[in-house]
Amino acid sequence: MELETDLEAALEYINANAANAPYIIFGLLLLAGFNIPVSEDVMLFTSALLAAKNPDLLYPLFFAVFAGAYISDVICYAFMGRFLGEKIFRNKFLKSMAPPEKIEKINQFYSKYGIITLILGRFIPFGVRNALFLTAGLGKMNAVKFCVADFIACIISCLCFFTLYYTFGESVIEYVKKFNVIIFAVAATVGIIIYLRKKKRQENFTG
């Protein structure tokens, strides 16, 4: 509750200090990399609305939210996942943010569908992005592969959601949440197709 209050206060401060908003948004998103509950979606929404009201800040705000989101992903993957590893589960706060059962479920997706899990998962708004990055780190995913795939996914997802919020404002929020369900369905379908084709190739090879 205290963190939510702090975040609300931060958002009020951002709106009241538009000129400094890019720096504040960038800094807040970096905290998300350490599993501090700062919502990337809220930052995207806030920055897009500010940009609509302050066109001169359009590019600084987009760059801030994109760079903050991407570096946050890398922090979660590299520091939380690869460096700290299983130690994070000894901390009650971090454990509550990324329960082992959720990590295990995502790890199963990585095992079956590979990097497609990361790419499609990046587009799920109001979802489990940090758990994806953390699991990639825990599983020692190749660092270059992670950084390249996440960079591409991050810039596309940020462009899509920022443009939606910038153009339509609050009216599009409910549609984005519904889109979340569609993304899950598409991701599951694509994943199953890839898995079945991969399995068929392995059977043909061994046969």
Q: 111, 99, 102, 117: which is closest to 139 by C-alpha?
A: 111
Whether the model clears a pTM of 0.85, i.e. scores above it, the answer is no
Output the average pLDDT for the chain.
Answer: 77
Per-residue pLDDT at 5 = 56
In the predicted structure, residue 134 carries a pLDDT above the cut 60: yes
Cβ 10 vs Cβ 27: under 8 Å: no
Instruction: Answer yes or no: is pLDDT of 95 > 70.
Output: no
| Residue 21: partners with Cβ closer than 8 Å, 6 or more residues away | 14, 15, 46, 47, 50, 57, 61, 64
The residue among 109 and 70 whose pLDDT is bigger is: 70
Lowest mean pLDDT among 122-136, 142-156, 190-204: 190-204
pLDDT digits (tens, 9 = 90+) for 31-44: 988 878 788 888 99
Number of structural domains found in the chain: 1
Residue range 106-127, pLDDT digits in tens: 777 777 777 777 777 777 755 5
pLDDT at 59: 95
For 10, the domain range is 2-206
What is the C-alpha to C-alpha distance for residues 87 and 94, in angstroms, rounded to an integer?
10
Residues 143, 145, 148, 149: is their CA dihedral positive or negative?
Answer: negative
